[in-house]
Structures are given as C-alpha cells and as structure tokens.
Amino acid sequence: MSRPRILHPQTRRAVDIVLEMTALTEAQLFAKSRAEELVMARAYVYLILRHFNKWTFQAIAREFNRDHGTVLHSLRKLNDLYEHDRYYRVQITQVLQKAISGMGKVKVKSV
C-alpha cells in the first residue's frame, strides 16, 4: 500500500471536487496515463487552481509532477473545447460551479 500523497490545501480541495464529479481515484488522477478521461480530469483540476487560486503554470506542474507546458496545453485545450463543444461547455461549467460552491462565493469569469 502506498503512502498518502501530501498536497497543498488548495490542490486537495480542487482534487476532491473533481474526484467527486468523476468515478476516478486519486491514484488514477496522478498516474502518468494519457487516457482521455484522466487527462480531462487533471485539466479540470488545473483549471480550478489557475482560475480561482491564480496559480502559475509552473506551480501547478510541480504539484502534479508534470511540465508547465503540459499544464498550458491542457488549459488551452479546455478553452478550445469550451468554445466549440457543447458537451464540454456543460462539463466545464459544472466543474466551475462545483468549485464555486466548494469555495464560497467567488465571481466567475469566462474560461
């Protein structure tokens, strides 16, 4: 059995929000897998950290043991999906709403 991952409290909150909305485990979320379901779940966590907590790409990347370019690419992809795909627009909006409800009242701006 592996020891629990120690996360920054803001990351813990973002991870918990995304895990609650998906059928994934924390181990899957932090795995190196590039399966689309996992990539999108990680991107949602990146979005919460960047949008609400104003984390830098480098800080998010360090927390996930990724390159900052990976975080940047994920967020750009999310933005593109938000603009062009109704399904993902709904998904991203739900993630943001869940993050707001989990963080108290926060003003939401466009992705």
Q: For residue 3, what pLDDT is reported?
A: 58
Residue 45 corresponds to which tokens in the numbers above?
Answer: 């966590």
State in Å, rounded, how far the first CA of the chain is from the last one.
38
Q: For the segment 53-106, what is each residue's pLDDT rounded down to a tens digit?
A: 999 999 999 999 999 999 999 999 999 999 999 999 999 999 999 999 976 544
Nearest residue to 106 (alpha-carbon basis) of 2, 13, 6: 13
Q: Cβ distance 18 to 44 under 8 Å?
A: yes
What is the tens place of the pLDDT at every residue in 12-27? 999 999 999 999 999 9
Q: How far is CA 66 from CA 2, 104, 108, in A?
A: 20, 29, 27
pTM for the model stands at 0.87
The predicted structure's pLDDT at residue 102: 77
